[in-house]
Amino acid sequence: MIKEIINFTRDLLADIPDIRHWNAKPDKGLHVFINIDENGRWVNKELKEGVDYTYYDGENDEIKLWDDCIRYQEATTYISMNKVKKFDPKQKIHSCSPFAIAYNFKFNEADKNTLNIPVLKKAEKPSIDDIQKNEALIREKKYEVVYSRLNDYKKNSIAVYGLNFKEASSELFPEPSYKYKSQINGFFRIFPEVMTAIKNIEEYNSLKDKDYLHIYLRSIPIEEQEKQYRHYLEQEIFSGDVLSNKAYGTAGFFTAYSQKKIFMRHQTGCQIGGVSLRVSTEDAMLLFEFMKLLHHKCFPNPLPIVVDQKEINKAIAKIYNESGEKMSTRQILTQLFQKKNIKYLSDFYLLNLKNTMSGYVINDFDFVSLFRFGLVPTIRIFNLMEAGYYVNDKMNKDPDIQIQTIFDFEKIAVRTIFNNSLVRIKDDTYVTHYFDDLDPKYVPGGNMMVDLIYKYRMCIYEYIYKSKTGGITRNMIDDMLLTSIKTNILNDKIKGRTEWNNPIKTKLNLWFSLYDFFSNNKENAMTSRIKELKTKLYEVSLGEADLETQEEFAFAAGQLISYLIDRSAASNKTYALLEPYLQKSKISMLQTSLSQSIATYKHDIRVVHKGRFENIAAQALTFAPDGEMKPLLRYLLAGCFSPCVIYEKKEQTTGNKE
């Protein structure tokens, strides 16, 4: 993985050098630029807004000095907070450069107690006045703490950067002092005076918590600062031990290790000191650049890293960053295939990351030999259950649906199966949860649906994004759809007839259509079978045919169950009334349950329905031989939620409202 990311970053930086600054933003807070002349004197004491300082509130990107803030900040910021210790062991000053001083206004509770700063609890509901006084005290105390650390910080930063601050000796070839020594000395010497001026800036008095105060020494050319900073990075880029005179070491990019946590260290492979991978300084710098690009949100997630096709990697980066609102990987790939006319995408690594409070975590990293965008054959979702809505007493049936691409499959099929929770679409927001923790309280279907998502989401992710066509099987489709429908049965209320449940109808349509697709049956055997069952039962209801197969029995039983539940006079009926029937393991057991229900509701079987009902019931209750119900549940449910033929009159067509 590491080598692929290194090569990807090297090529991208060569092709798009300015990508380093794409999406970069200054820290929220106050940014102040100080000019010190060659004699160490402060020359811009009258700080002017937009010239010598600017305030960034975290939202308004139209501030003056925007580019300067980014460039100076990136040339003076720390590699990691742990690296700050070389500059300030107490980690109160967060810049890592002799050309800047930066800190925020965050104190932990222990620090507040030591400094006699009141700890305001939200539960105590402090007044606005108390909060503002507390924030002012924190700013003052933070200044005092930083000032007390300043001499050490100056000394350490000069040493870490390897700058020569000694006076020239009388030797024949004396080593000259660092050329900007006077400016740096003056910068640190006038810090109290600078802070007096900064405290008069209105925005300073609003800084709190994680807001930053950055003070930059602008009179030293930024090119010099960047050169020195890069030299510093090259010396400090490694984590842990280094080899070969600091030429190779452990990069901080997912290869850091802890000497104290032996069980977390690699136990196999080629190792030196328990570390199985060391990289060169150049490679470590490229990994550092990649992390910065991640931090700047320059890449989609998941990120395709195409091998030996630099132009595609460049196109992906440009599409993502030039699209205004950030596009998802599915949108980028769709544009590549449809608008950029790319015929196929092959030989790429797919990197999926998660940004957490503790840093980036790798969810998944895998090689994809060939990505399938278009589906062949196209999946057609037939409206077998006649889903739709009544408008002015007329049924408007939903049209059949065409699933032409792999992302149509995600948007339509996956979203429906998992109750809009694995793939969540609301308004214009499209969110997926392939690697997230899910709270059953916020998932329709509760724990049953969450368990189903956890069980199958990786298979679905790999099927969609890695084109692992064998990742989903027909049996898996059966389990997904049956369980998904059960979540509706356990939670939905019956409104009107039992058959009138569009979410369940939609899932059944999906079930039968996907069943054919994942069984590689190009003749739509399952969808044709459902159509045949509906036709056959219509004939049975007229007394013109007999039930001959177990599938026909299950479908007929479903129709009877739907009609019998409609006869219940209970208020607030729910689909849980289906459960006793679905739990029957044998055909004979279901027949017994149907007999009992018919006896219960026989007084309410309407005369107009009696003939059709009696014909179907007689056939279902006398059907033989016995058999297992589990393989027949899909047909039983299809019967429950297809338009019930018992309600039909000779002049009516299936699906019309009674």
- 650 in any annotated domain: no
Quick one: tokens of 369?
A: 């030999």
Q: Buried (b) or exposed (e) across 252-288, using 16+ Cβ within 10 A? A: bbbbebeeeeeeeeeeeeeeeeebebbbebebbbbbb
- Tell me, yes or no, whether 59 and 149 share the same domain: yes
What was the pLDDT predicted at 651? 44
Instruction: Please state, as a whole number, how many other Cβ atoms lie within 10 Å of the Cβ of residue 402.
Output: 12
- Tell me, yes or no, whether 56 and 152 share the same domain: yes
- Tell me, yes or no, whether 209 and 328 share the same domain: no
The residue to which tokens 């199985």 are assigned: 276
Provide the sign of the torsion angle of the four alpha carbons 556, 558, 562, 567, taken in this order: positive
Q: Cis peptide before 302, with omega less than 30 degrees from 0? A: yes
Which helix H or strand E contains 31, and what residues bound it?
A: strand 29-34
- 586 in any annotated domain: no
Identify any residues that bridge with 359 across adjacent strands, giving them in sequence order. 356
- Tell me, yes or no, whether 351 and 214 share the same domain: no
CA-angle at 117, arms to 111 and 119, nearest 5° = 90
Q: Is-contact 366 350, C-beta < 8 A?
A: yes
Q: What secondary structure does DSSP assign to 211-241, as a single string?
A: EEEEEEETTS-HHHHHHHHHHHHHHH-EEEE
The series of mean pLDDT values per 10 residues for the chain, 658 residues long, is 90 92 94 96 96 95 93 93 92 96 94 92 89 95 96 96 78 77 96 97 95 97 96 83 62 58 51 61 90 92 92 92 86 88 87 86 92 91 90 83 95 97 89 95 96 97 94 94 96 92 96 88 79 95 94 97 92 92 96 94 80 94 94 96 86 40
Which helix H or strand E contains 264, and what residues bound it?
A: none
- 114 in any annotated domain: yes
- Tell me, yes or no, whether 117 and 193 share the same domain: yes
Q: Buried (b) or exposed (e) across 629-643, using 16+ Cβ within 10 A? A: beebbbbbbbbbbbb
- Tell me, yes or no, whether 223 and 326 share the same domain: no
Q: Is-contact 31 53, C-beta < 8 A?
A: yes
What was the pLDDT predicted at 198? 97
Q: Is-contact 493 573, C-beta < 8 A?
A: yes
Q: Please state the pTM of the whole predicted model.
A: 0.85
Q: What secondary structure does DSSP assign to 353-364, as a single string?
A: EEEETTEEEEEE
CA 656 vs. chain centroid, Å, equals 44
Domain interval for residue 207: 24-236
Strand 279-280: give its sheet, edge to edge.
238-243, 248-251, 279-280
Among the candidates 330, 349, 371, a domain finishes at 371
Q: What secondary structure does DSSP assign to 455-499, as a single string?
A: HHHHHHHHHHHS--GGGS-HHHHHHHHHHHHHHHHHHPBP-SSTT
Q: Buried (b) or exposed (e) across 509-522, using 16+ Cβ within 10 A? A: bbbbbbbbbbeeee
- 165 in any annotated domain: yes
- 34 in any annotated domain: yes
Cβ neighbors of 533 (< 8 A, separation 6 or more) are 551, 552, 555, 635, 638, 639
Cβ neighbors of 501 (< 8 A, separation 6 or more) are 488, 492, 494, 575, 641
Q: Is-contact 396 388, C-beta < 8 A?
A: yes
DSSP 54: E
DSSP 175: P
Nearest residue to 345 (alpha-carbon basis) of 382, 381, 374, 385: 374
Quick one: tokens of 114?
A: 């030591």
- 628 in any annotated domain: no
Nearest residue to 653 (alpha-carbon basis) of 538, 563, 541: 538
Q: What totals of helices (H) and strands (E) does the chain contain, helices first?
A: 21, 16
Q: Is-contact 250 241, C-beta < 8 A?
A: yes
Which helix H or strand E contains 46, and what residues bound it?
A: none
Amino acid at 170: S
Q: For residue 271, what are the CA distances in angstroms to 254, 257, 258, 268?
A: 16, 13, 15, 7
Instruction: Please state, as a whole number, how many other Cβ atoms lie within 10 Å of the Cβ of residue 346.
Output: 13
- Tell me, yes or no, whether 58 and 189 share the same domain: yes
Query: How many domains, the chain?
Result: 2
What was the pLDDT predicted at 275? 52
- Tell me, yes or no, whether 88 and 222 share the same domain: yes
Among the candidates 220, 236, 252, a domain finishes at 236
Instruction: Please state, as a whole number, how many other Cβ atoms lie within 10 Å of the Cβ of residue 4.
Output: 16
The residue to which tokens 């006793």 are assigned: 580
Q: For residue 601, what are the CA distances in angstroms to 241, 311, 563, 598, 606?
A: 81, 71, 10, 5, 10
Amino acid at 465: Y
Cβ neighbors of 81 (< 8 A, separation 6 or more) are 91, 94
- 223 in any annotated domain: yes
- Tell me, yes or no, whether 222 and 339 share the same domain: no
What was the pLDDT predicted at 472? 94
What was the pLDDT predicted at 658? 37
- Tell me, yes or no, whether 49 and 146 share the same domain: yes
Give the Cα separation of 636 and 641 in Å (integer).
9
Among the candidates 352, 371, 390, a domain finishes at 371
- Tell me, yes or no, whether 120 and 212 share the same domain: yes
- 316 in any annotated domain: yes
CA-angle at 513, arms to 509 and 519, nearest 5° = 145
- Tell me, yes or no, whether 38 and 136 share the same domain: yes
Give the Cα separation of 239 and 474 in Å (integer).
49
